[in-house]
Structure 1
Amino acid sequence: MNNNNNFFQNVVSEMKKVSWPTGQEVVRYTTTVVLTVVFFLAFFYVLDIGITALIDLM
């Protein structure tokens, strides 16, 4: 039982050291990730359409 208490005390101690992002940073990072995903989605979609068109020409 003492081992469990020591573990949870260490967890609490380490969590106090964590640097949590602010709400504004979370929104900025989330927006960056979503825009990056949308960009690559569009890029690979256009690439796929182009390759399909080239294959259809053969």
Structure 2
Amino acid sequence: MTSREYWKGVRTEMSKVVWPTRKELGAFTVVVICTCAVFALGFWAVDSGFLAILKAILGVTLS
């Protein structure tokens, strides 16, 4: 396969892509940011709980 054939194939495949509208892109962005925030809060809660358990059982501190 030559370089010219490769780029022709790339152009053909890119023309098949259905790009999101501006409204869809905004909605998807909000969903991604909210999902990241939920996971961050979840990891923080698990980490805080785990640290509380270690402090209670072993007297471990992070100072």
Q: Indicate the TM-score class for this superposition, using the shorter chain for normalisation.
A: 0.7 to 0.9
TM-score normalised according to structure 1 size: 0.78
The Cα of 1:35 is off from its aligned counterpart by 0.6
Specify the alignment match of 2:39 in structure 1. 40
* Unaligned residue ranges in structure 2 (runs of 5+): 58-63
Q: Deviations over 1:9-56 (max 9, x none)?
A: 332222221111111111111111111011010011011111111110
Specify the alignment match of 2:6 in structure 1. 7
Distance (Å, rounded) in 1 between the aligned partners of 2:21 and 2:6: 28
Structure 1 stretches of at least 4 aligned residues deviating more than 6 Å after TM superposition: none
* Unaligned residue ranges in structure 1 (runs of 5+): none
Higher RCO structure (Cα 8 Å, ≥6 apart): 2
Q: Sequence identity of aligned pairs in percent?
A: 30
How many pairs does the alignment contain?
Answer: 56
Aligned AA for 2:51? T
Aligned AA for 2:11? V
TM-score normalised according to structure 2 size: 0.73
Specify the alignment match of 1:30 in structure 2. 29
